[in-house]
Amino acid sequence: MYQVVKSALLKNGELMIRVSEGTKFELHLHNVKFHDEEELIEIDAGHETYWISGREIVYFWIHRLRE
């Protein structure tokens, strides 16, 4: 799932993920770093930094505005 999420973020610029424990995170290109060797996603949330294992991602979705 790590590579799928990475590709989707690079393509769309932002997306949401849900991890196995139920927590949701919003990812943006400007505040996310990918660590391919460990399959970790680092999210800089300003006051906090989150490390998400690619193995813990259950699903993701992309924000779309309705027209």
Amino acid present at 8 = A
Q: What is the pLDDT of residue 66?
A: 59
Report the CATH architecture of 2-61.
Roll (2.30)
Mean pLDDT value of segment 37-47 = 94
Task: Give the H/E segment covering residue 12.
Answer: helix 2-12
Indicate if the pLDDT at residue 46 is higher than 90. Answer: no
| Helix, strand or coil, per DSSP, at residue 64 | coil
Mean pLDDT value of segment 35-56 = 94
What is the average pLDDT score of the chain? Answer: 92
Give the number of C-alpha atoms closer than 13 A to the C-alpha of residue 4, restricted to the C-beta side: 11
Q: Are 39 and 53 in contact (CB under 8 A)?
A: yes
pLDDT tier for residue 63 given thresholds of 50, 70 and 90: confident
Query: Of the candidates 8, 4, 2, which has an alpha carbon nearest to the alpha carbon of residue 34?
Result: 2
Mean pLDDT value of segment 25-37 = 95
The domains of the chain are located at: 2-61
Indicate if the pLDDT at residue 2 is higher than 90. Answer: yes
